[in-house]
Each structure stands twice: as structure tokens, then as C-alpha cells.
Amino acid sequence: MYKKNIVLFCIGCFFAASTFAQVKTLSSIKGESSAVYFMVHPMHKFDATSKEVVFTASLDPGAKTIKTVTAVVDVTSFDSGNSNRDSHAMEVIDAMSFPETTFTSTSIVPQENSLMVGGKLTFHGVTHDVTALAVPEWGSDKLVVHATMYISLTAFKVERPALLFIPVEDTLKFVLTAAFPLK
């Protein structure tokens, strides 16, 4: 009977411990998270940053694993330092109809020091599967994830913005920074 009690106690502890499993769903820290896009025109390169981005992640700080991640960014908030250019970008992506871009992960595969994050990106009202390379930095009180992904503008049915009749390159690079509080 004593053994049985021990077993039952262990089962109880297991359930209690699993209840303690640190899978948290957290939203990113505003101000410390950002989305930056990089565009290349034959005459110059430029980038635009938005702080109006919210990442949500289910993660286990104990195991240092990220289960799922989502992101939403207000496309009208990107600032390239040239409002005329930003306004032009808003026109080509029809920001009045599609004011936000969303990403939802479908798979997160750990690699050496990084994560290969697959997911669905909805941009300009078009959804495509995309892959991002993410590098997590686990701190004691904060998790910061830097992710990079490349998309094709034409794949998302975006007419490439042109300057002096020369359009920008088709590839748009996104660099995302998400900071999550762990305490």
C-alpha cells in the first residue's frame, strides 16, 4: 500500500508539474518590437520601420522553445523618412482596403542556433506560405527574436512602385524584431 501511495503521489506531482509547464502565450513589448522592410531600386536602397506591430507567441521559457507565433502590423505606420515614398507604398498595396499584414506560424523547426519558421503571410489581401529564419536570444527577463524573410511583391499581386519609370526590385526583405517579457 505504501508503494501504491508513492506511485499515486508521483502521478499527482506529475499532473501538478505539468500544470506548471511554462507554456505561456505572450504579446510582444511595444516599443521594443519592430518590423522593417528593405526595398531596392536601381538608383538607391531604402528601408521603412514600423513600431505598430504586435507579435504573439506561445513559448516555454523553461525549455527555451517557441511553439507558435503570430504577428500583425499596421501597414500605414511604416516610416522610411520620406512620407511621399510611404504614401506611394500605401497606394500600391491599397492600404485603405488592406490596412494590416498578418503572419501566423504553421511550423517552427529548430536549427543550430536558429529557427526555421514556416507560416502564412497575408499581405495586400493575398495569403501565401512563407518561411522566415529566426534567431532567438533568451535572456533572464526577456526573449528577443530577430527574424528575416523575403517575399515577392508580384506574388502578392502588388504593383511594384516606380521612380522615374523604373520599378523597384521584386524581392521585399522583412526584418522583424520581437521582444517578449519573461517575467
Partner 1 sequence: MNNSMRWVKSSIFVCFICSLGSQIGRAQDSYDVSFETSVLLSQELPFIQQDSLNISVVQPDTLPVSVVRRPRLLPENLGFFERNLWTENGLFRTMGIASPLTPESRKSELKLRRTMLVAHEVSGFVTLGLMVTTVYYGQKVLNEFNTSNYRPLLRKHTQFVDATIATYSITALLSLLSPPPVIRRDEISTVSIHRALAWVHVTGMILTPIIAAIAKKGRGATDMSILRIHQISAYITTAAFTASIIVVTF
Applying CB under 8 A, does 24 fall inside the site for partner 1? yes
Q: Classify the phi-psi angles of 14: left when phi > 0, otherwise alpha if psi is within -120 to 50, otherwise beta.
A: alpha
Question: Which of these ranges, 27-35, 124-132, 134-142, 148-156, lies near partner 1 under the rule CB under 8 A?
Answer: 27-35
Question: Which of these ranges, 99-107, 111-119, 129-137, 141-149, lies near partner 1 under the rule CB under 8 A?
Answer: 99-107
Q: In terms of CB distance, is 41 or 146 closer to partner 1?
A: 41
> Least distance in Å: CB of 140 to partner 1?
16
The three-class DSSP label of residue 140 is coil
Sheet holding 100-110, edge to edge: 24-27, 53-60, 65-74, 100-110, 115-123, 126-138, 142-152, 171-181, 34-41, 44-50
The closest alpha carbon to 107, from 150, 151, 67, belongs to: 67
Contacts of 152 (CB under 8 A, 6+ apart): 170, 171, 172
Residue 16, number of CB atoms within 10 A of its CB: 9
Applying CB under 8 A, does 88 fall inside the site for partner 1? yes
Applying CB under 8 A, does 49 fall inside the site for partner 1? no
> Least distance in Å: CB of 173 to partner 1?
20
Question: Which of these ranges, 65-73, 113-121, 130-138, 170-178, lies near partner 1 under the rule CB under 8 A?
Answer: 65-73
Q: Which residues of this chain interact with partner 1, rule CB under 8 A?
A: 1, 4-5, 8-9, 11-13, 15-27, 29-30, 43-44, 52-54, 56, 58, 68, 70, 72-74, 76, 79, 81-88, 90-91, 94-97, 99-100, 102, 104, 163-165, 181
